[in-house]
Structure 1
Amino acid sequence: MKRKSIVSLLLGTTAATLCLLVLPASGAVEDVNFDVSTKAPGYSVKGRRGAHKTKTGLEIPLELKHSHHHEGIDLYGKTIKDLVVDVDFETADRIHVKISDKDQKQVPVPDSPLGIERPRLRKSAKKRNYEFKYTEDPFGFQVIRKSDKAVIFDTTDYPLVFEDQYLEITTAVPDDANIYGFGETTIPHFRRDNVKNVTTIFARDAACPFYENIYGHHPFYMEIRDGKAHGSLLLSAHGMDVLTVEGRITWKVIGGVLEFYIFVPDDDKPNSVVQSYTDLIGKPMMVSRWMLGWHHCRWGYEDIDQVQGVIDGYKEHNIPLEVAWVDIDYMDTFQDFTFDPVNFPQERMIQLGHDLHANRQRYVIMVNAGKHYKSGYEGYEYGHDLDIFMKNPDGEEYVGQVWPGYTVYPDWFNPDVSKYWNKLIADWVELTGIDGTWVDMDEPAAFCLGSCGTGKKDQAPPSLEPWTLPQETQDQMYAEEEIAIKNLSNYVQDSRDLLYPNYAINNGHGNLSVKTGSMIAYHHGDIPHYDLHSLYGHAECKLTRDALIEHNKTTRPFILTRSSFVGSGRYAGHWTGDNASKWEYLKSSITEIFNMQMFGISYSGSDVCGFNDNTTETLCTRWQELGAFYPFARNHNAKQPIAQEPFLWETAAEATRTALAIRYALLPYYYTLFEESNRLGTGVWRPLIFEWPHVDAFLDNDDQILVGSDILLSPVVYENKTSVEAEFPPGIWYDWYTLETVDDQGATGKERAITLDAPLTHIPVHIRGGAILPLKTPTMLVEETFDSPYILLVALDDSGEAQGRLYIDDGHSLEPSETSDITFTFKNGVLKAEGDFGYSKPEKLDTIKIVGDIDATTASITDCSTPADNLELVKEDNAIVLQNAGIDLTASFTVRFE
């Protein structure tokens, strides 16, 4: 594939200038085993005029290359001959390259809060960290990082295929590249390898099988090359396979357009890539303080007495419990917004909320996506009257099956659906007093193929759990459903095969419509579910958030979702779904949470101790230790396995008390990190490589976790282990429990590998030298913990210095009127607090603990509302401690240690 000419847009000047250049020759395209895609003719820049400048960048018309050998080729769909490439130089660190069909018949991600709100640009960014180049014949493009001239995105030696149901594009990467991201899928390792190299992205209800697509849809990745990071998003809601093989990344997409955003921060740091990415998709939601406490739930509690018994069990064993959850068990025949009159009677469910609130605890219960197809049920009748449910191609309501039986599905893209949802949510919250909503089964999930409930209103399906029926019965039901869905396809006014596209992505369920909404169900505007499928849960989260705010305009809403899309972190938190009580799932939870943090969903976690299967005492103990530090921390399991409340084993209870005492002490630090995440977009949990990208030893370290930049967790995640082979970054690290420095024996170069003792009830936790941590005295409840005075833990680095930050607001307001943002620095024996002190409620700093190389006996406080001189210091736990300082955190102050 020889280039006839090359056009380069030089981006270093204020005015974009077109020049003819020659790229270094790279030879013929190598055999990349692309099936038949290398037979595609490709595209060339169209016409004499060719590319032309726009206010925001470039517009490049493309036409299908013609030759007698390639005439009329259609690989998997209908080839689209005329394309347009729009290149927008949006910001200094973000370039947008969209390849779309000229006639705009392909369906992109909606430009709305239900999809993504694209930036409104008036002109291109003047200063840019990247250059853009493209070849004319065949068309390909490169994005080049200006700081080191590295080509970070390069399609020029690979085929471009653009058909109505098959799009393929490839970028070159180094052999054995350091790739992170692409999801949602359960994988054991954060860094992608070249072996398990096909990632399918398509929202799917599945119990977390390894290397398969599950609940979310996130076509974003980051690459770290020679210590420098960049990222890329293919903004598409269509199903796709992503191949990460040696030397390339290839996307194979079954619809839509090729819309790329490429992120090139000026400091080349991984955290800055995440910040740039969330500049586009939206920053993670700000949590309320109570959300950071410990949560507990189980599917399968027989009655409300069992729920109360669990709440009492936590209290009796002195284990914090902030939020009690109730799964679908509370519903009357599994119908949303109803109560089982015998086992979970309405008056007792309401009283449970009152009792929890009286004890300063919180209350969350579940809502599912599908609504029972039943006469007299408000969830159906009200929606039917408003005509807001998804439709079959014949115009009738699409009827699948979930827990209540036959179910209809709200069409979140219908402009009238907000009226429906606002009323149901507001009435429900008003009745129950719940503190948040758990949105489940929102891929959407379905237990049958197609509209299996058509014409069966008020009827019960053969089984609420069809997978438990004899295999012969299941096969017969599936065959009948397949005939019905094919018959409905006769009504489809679409030239595409929406049920069985010729290119079959590696979807875990095979048929795209299995266990989810039918691909030929329709949304408002006659858009097939095929084109919007992976947006369903995302859109529900947005409208649920709107409904909760409509009901209570002053308080941050709580939403937890199973299905997610690009930008869902703006609206909701996420848990990683129906994992299993196995050691490999304990280990993979680290990777999954790392991915969610990178995807902009900072409030995320996994079911602690596992959801499916029976846990063991040892596994649950180790999981409680780690799960106590998840950004979203909840023990949750299914109805079939044994109970796994942490107080059922003394080892688990002891480990939980110890780990949660650390978490609750760190609550001001966590809360400050979440404010930073909400403002900047960075993750609360971070892999070591994100903080030290030049340390090659950290490239594949996914056994350890940084909470922010200052707390290092080294959990045991392998069976029968009582020690951890931990890697320590440069500098001093202090043991949380003893405040002793880590033994640096065996240090090699920039990193240190050290064996840490970790008996069953112990999780190693370390503090970075150079950090100042705001702490509290931990209690059983979040608000009681925050009621205690602040403690500053000053951990000195090699130079005897440290710094930190504290964010304060009222802990719950959607738009807090008063906030404080305080920066602490310690240098030459002087601690200074400066910043914005807008929070007027008196917040006391009583204790300052300094760890490190310091020898002081007295302290004096000046420049504050409560000045004091010659305060006595005491020595304890390898630290010097100033007690009873009595400092009001309402103004700047200085503390001198002599």
Structure 2
Amino acid sequence: MAGQVVEAPVVARFEAWRVTDTGVELRGPRFQGRIEAPAEGVFRVLLWHRPQDAEKRSWVVHAGTPQPLTANAESGTLELRSGAHTLRLDLDPFAVEFGGAEFGGAESGGVRLPGAALTGGLASHLTRWWEENELPEVFADDGRPAGSGLALRLAESDARAYYGLGGRTGWLDRRGRDYTVWTTDPAPPFSHDQDPLYQAHPFLLIREAGRFCGLYLDETWRSTFSLAPAGAEESLIATDGPTLDFYLIAGPDPQKVLQRYSALVGRPPMPPLWALGYHQCRWGYVDAATVRDVAAEHRRRDIPLDAIWLDIDHMERYKSFTFDPYRFHDPAGLAGDLAAQGVQLVAIVDPGLRAEPGYRAYDEALAKDYLIRVPRGDVLRGTSWPGESVWPDFTRAEVRNWWSGLHRSLTDAGVAGIWNDMNEPSTFSVMGHTTYGKGMPPGARHAAYAHAEVHNLYAVLECRAAFEALTAQRPGRRPFVLTRAGFPGIQRYAWVWTGDNSSSWQHLEESIPMLLGLSLSGVAFVGADIGGFSGDSNGELLTRWTWLGACYPFMRNHSECDSLAQEAWAFGEPWTGHVRAAVQLRYRLLPYLYSLAREAVEDGAPPLRPMLFEFPDDATAWPLADQFMPGAALLVAPALRPRQQARAVYLPAGRWQDFWSGELHEGGRWIVIPTPLDGLPLFVRAGSVLALTEPAPHTATAHWAPLVLRLLPDAAGRVSGRVWEDAGDGDAPGAWTQVQGQVDADGLRLTLETPALSMAREVVLELRAPGPVRGADDWTVDAGWLRLRRQQDTDRLAIDVAF
């Protein structure tokens, strides 16, 4: 690459257009283009300059129902309409203005995206590979080195903010920095401004004043999002590949954008209930006896637990799909003993296979030509945890099917879930070279693809194979897969955690915007290592993190072998009692959290939501990332500093109730609240029905008994909500229990509609006592909380009591 002449950017220009059955085609001297409306409220813009890219397929996007397009031209501007939505194009030079009725109309601003250009010099990290390691260049079959790329320039506005891009360091608003979309394993622990990290999501939720839309770049090549860095007057979205393929998604609010985006790239399947329980993991559970002791200690100390995880300690010489024959000689017996206590077993799988003759996975992959190769044809060899390693090529269906079959050694032993790690893919070295970003050379070959094109897909395709393995090998039970790396589409197969964080107050706080960024990128089930992975935790930090983690979608305590142990009891009292209370809160909230999981499955709404998701018209809520909403009914404002005694909380308009004391607060203002170690600042939103239950040692069924309904009427006395109920696992159908009611000074009137009630159960209504209940004796008052108990034995339960 040294001395290469870089071609000056070529601005996209179009001379002609025509309407076809699939959209509107654009023709120019250098570029061709097509505009489609693949779904209601969504436009696709595809630009290319190689003939073979005219029918470019997507690795990610689901085929939807194409919408009709109409086109009108005036003075060099092409106006495209699809239903209520409008896209305006300038043809020479190319520019896009996205408006439409739901976004506020092109006349009132919209988002202007001018200047798609063929550019040079965007491949700095690839250049470094080529120059330092003398590996061959990668070409995109058009005579131009990969990394020449295409770019889209965005004229900036002071009123604009950007959210999404997956799990990133920094603020919730991505404006002001450069971001690289390239799955990367950083040196742990990652720093507060490190980029890129494990997750690569080229999706932006864009706010222009109070209006929202989405932009998804459907390119698997490395891409760069330079979002008004250092106050620049324009932003740049660039891809190293030979096409520019992006989707514009209408609002008007974040919920509608995420609903449309998730329909485009896929939504998660319903998880097993146990996945929402409390999980315990440590790199350092060196034998089966240790695992049994950890489970027994949770039960002895009355700390709920649903899963224990096996890190690489369980393997024979770090070989995936094996158990050490001495330390884990009877894995089925271990899994059976845990299952008898209601505890599931989850095992780690790394894609780097030890290059050892006699190791089944290696022998088969080599014999069947299933491995990634270097351009000259040799198998790509490097180092990873097992030593000398090779890596499967997951772009091929037959390789994924074979990989799925290897999981049989785990599932036959009773393993219930799979943990995919090191799948960026991460290496220690390749072909004798220390690798840039711990990755592979861009010229490595995956069948017909260069690694530069499919690197970002590696984790998605591996997790697909694991998901399909669990589906086939554990019939009647829902798959559970966790991944470190990912790209859009990962949410269809796996949950995500934020990777190798540290036991620090900084990473405690930073977990919130990282997880919210994933949530706003279509990844619903996310979590961070509670207590921190590297370094030593302490009782106060673990306590605060467990309270916060009780509201993560995924709740797992995890640490590395060189750190202090940080199980719930590790630091003694009073910390053990505080951690126990936090985990028990999680189990009280399970009916509500499980219902949020169902919402994610049905309409793409993430369980973990930034304030702007629920309050898109409230400018005070837009930047907040140290408080958040688990669903629409709860607001969480955790303590995030050592020895913190109090903190400020912003309550949006409406009434809010302290979850613990029942104290009411009027919203639309900031308040200061105490932050005791034995609780979590938690507020219930007026008008809500918050579904709870009694904590248990582990999950069992999502037919909730008892079903506790916390009621907080709005200003008009109304309450409403719903609760998802099913068996908690398997394919049996479930249903929403709908709750509607009125609470005023005279009494309470409430109805529960539960289609196909599976069993009689107790329903407990819980609210601040407006007065004694007249004409009934099935109620109590405790510390100001009125609890009314009724038996539900039919699909409809009506409650009418007077105060």
Decide which of 855, 874, 887 is 2:780's aligned counterpart: 874
Q: Distance in 2 between matches of 1:399 and 1:592?
A: 33
Aligned partner of residue 772 in structure 1, secondary structure? strand
Decide which of 232, 244, 256 is 2:215's aligned counterpart: 232
Aligned partner of residue 826 in structure 1, secondary structure? strand
2:120 is the counterpart of 1:152:
no
Deviations 1:581-602 (A, max 9, x none): 1111111100111111122221
Partner of 2:44: 96
| Native 8 Å contact 1:625 1:659 kept in 2 | yes
Partner of 1:138: 93
Partner of 1:395: 377
Partner of 1:609: 531
Partner of 1:379: 361
Decide which of 697, 709, 713 is 1:780's aligned counterpart: 697
Q: Distance in 2 between matches of 1:552 and 1:318?
A: 30
Decide which of 625, 628, 631 is 1:702's aligned counterpart: 625
- Structure 2 unaligned spans of 5+: 71-80, 121-143
Partner of 1:864: none
Once the two structures are overlaid, the 10-residue window that deviates more, 677-686 or 595-604, is 595-604
| Native 8 Å contact 2:292 2:338 kept in 1 | no
Aligned residue identity for 2:589: L
Q: State the 1:703 CA deviation.
A: 0.7
Q: State the 1:657 CA deviation.
A: 1.7
Once the two structures are overlaid, the 10-residue window that deviates more, 674-683 or 614-623, is 614-623
Q: State the 1:136 CA deviation.
A: 2.3
2:178 is the counterpart of 1:198:
yes
Q: Distance in 2 between matches of 1:523 and 1:157?
A: 33
Decide which of 299, 307, 315 is 1:315's aligned counterpart: 299
Decide which of 59, 73, 77 is 2:25's aligned counterpart: 59
Partner of 2:237: 251
Aligned residue identity for 1:327: D
Partner of 1:433: 414
Q: State the 1:871 CA deviation.
A: 5.1
Q: Distance in 2 between matches of 1:436 and 1:625?
A: 25
2:160 is the counterpart of 1:174:
no
Aligned partner of residue 783 in structure 1, secondary structure? coil
Q: State the 1:119 CA deviation.
A: 3.1
| Native 8 Å contact 1:130 1:146 kept in 2 | yes
Partner of 2:639: 716
Decide which of 672, 679, 690 is 1:755's aligned counterpart: 672
Aligned residue identity for 1:88: E
Once the two structures are overlaid, the 10-residue window that deviates more, 240-249 or 294-303, is 240-249
Q: State the 1:732 CA deviation.
A: 1.5
Q: State the 1:892 CA deviation.
A: 5.2
Aligned residue identity for 2:169: T
Q: State the 1:219 CA deviation.
A: 0.7
Q: Distance in 1 between matches of 2:439 and 2:604?
A: 32
Partner of 2:124: none
Partner of 1:645: 567
| Native 8 Å contact 2:443 2:451 kept in 1 | yes
Q: Distance in 1 between matches of 2:585 and 2:762?
A: 19
Q: State the 1:767 CA deviation.
A: 1.1
Q: Distance in 2 between matches of 1:820 and 1:667?
A: 15
| Native 8 Å contact 1:145 1:151 kept in 2 | no
Aligned residue identity for 1:577: G
Q: State the 1:647 CA deviation.
A: 0.9
Aligned partner of residue 724 in structure 2, secondary structure? strand
Q: Distance in 2 between matches of 1:651 and 1:281?
A: 46
Aligned residue identity for 1:810: A
Distance change in 2, residues 1:155/1:774 (3 Å): closer
Q: Distance in 2 between matches of 1:653 and 1:313?
A: 12
Aligned partner of residue 564 in structure 1, secondary structure? coil
Aligned partner of residue 407 in structure 2, secondary structure? helix
Aligned partner of residue 664 in structure 1, secondary structure? helix
Partner of 1:21: none
Q: Distance in 1 between matches of 2:702 and 2:762?
A: 14
Matches within 5 A, 1:789-804: 789-804=706-721
Distance change in 2, residues 1:289/1:797 (3 Å): same
Q: State the 1:411 CA deviation.
A: 0.9
Q: Distance in 1 between matches of 2:275 and 2:423?
A: 22
Distance change in 2, residues 1:370/1:212 (3 Å): same
Aligned residue identity for 1:795: L
Partner of 1:444: 425
Partner of 1:886: 791
With the length of structure 2 as denominator, give the TM-score of the two structures.
0.89
Partner of 1:262: 248
| Native 8 Å contact 2:655 2:664 kept in 1 | yes
Aligned residue identity for 1:397: V
Partner of 1:471: none
Partner of 2:456: 534
Deviations 1:156-187 (A, max 9, x none): 36756487532221122312522111244322
Matches within 5 A, 1:327-366: 327-342=311-326, 344-347=327-330, 349-366=331-348
Q: Distance in 2 between matches of 1:299 and 1:823?
A: 44
Decide which of 77, 84, 87 is 2:35's aligned counterpart: 87
Aligned residue identity for 2:420: V
2:473 is the counterpart of 1:551:
yes
| Native 8 Å contact 2:94 2:116 kept in 1 | no
Q: Distance in 2 between matches of 1:823 and 1:93?
A: 32
Q: Distance in 2 between matches of 1:773 and 1:837?
A: 19
Distance change in 2, residues 1:278/1:787 (3 Å): closer
2:259 is the counterpart of 1:275:
yes
| Native 8 Å contact 2:658 2:664 kept in 1 | yes
Aligned partner of residue 186 in structure 1, secondary structure? coil
Distance change in 2, residues 1:44/1:708 (3 Å): same
Q: Distance in 1 between matches of 2:703 and 2:647?
A: 33
User: Is the radius of gyration larger for structure 1 or structure 2?
Assistant: 1
Partner of 2:141: none
Distance change in 2, residues 1:260/1:641 (3 Å): same
Q: Distance in 1 between matches of 2:567 and 2:407?
A: 30
Decide which of 43, 54, 58 is 1:111's aligned counterpart: 58
Partner of 1:520: 443
Partner of 1:505: none
Q: Distance in 2 between matches of 1:784 and 1:132?
A: 48
Q: Distance in 1 between matches of 2:562 and 2:703?
A: 38
2:276 is the counterpart of 1:292:
yes
Q: State the 1:836 CA deviation.
A: 5.9
Task: Count how many residue pairs are aligned between Structure 1 and Structure 2.
Answer: 752
Q: Distance in 2 between matches of 1:157 and 1:396?
A: 42
Aligned partner of residue 104 in structure 1, secondary structure? helix
Aligned partner of residue 248 in structure 2, secondary structure? strand
Aligned partner of residue 569 in structure 2, secondary structure? helix
With the length of structure 1 as denominator, give the TM-score of the two structures.
0.80
| Native 8 Å contact 1:823 1:833 kept in 2 | yes
Partner of 2:127: none
Aligned partner of residue 674 in structure 1, secondary structure? helix
Distance change in 2, residues 1:39/1:703 (3 Å): same
Partner of 2:133: none
